[in-house]
Amino acid sequence: MQGTIATFDPASRSGTLLLDDGREITFGAAAFDASGLRKLRLGQRVDIEADHDGSVRQVRIPGVA
């Protein structure tokens, strides 16, 4: 799935993103930490990997392995 970063708190390493279908979902520090990224900016496009229950497992930059 892809979406756009709506909020990001560097202190807690968590935030929300707006999916392309209009849904807003949250991601926690574990999903951010799994990405290997150091920061995110508002409006940044991301790919997400979600668990079967819909919780975000990882946030990634599109096209980056």
CATH code of residue 20:
2.40.50
> What pLDDT does residue 64 have?
67
- Please report the pLDDT score of residue 24 as a whole number: 94
Give the domain range for residue 30.
2-60
Question: What is the tally of structural domains in the chain?
Answer: 1
Specify the pLDDT at position 53.
87
pLDDT above 90 covers what percent of the chain?
Answer: 63
Per-residue pLDDT, 65: 57
pTM: 0.85
Q: Say if 65 falls within a structural domain.
A: no
Beta strands in the chain (DSSP E): 2-9, 14-19, 24-27, 45-50, 56-60
Residue at 16 is within a domain: yes
Examine residue 46 and state whether it is found in any structural domain, yes or no. Answer: yes
**pLDDT (tens digit, 9 = 90+) per residue, 25-54?**
999 999 999 888 888 999 999 998 888 888
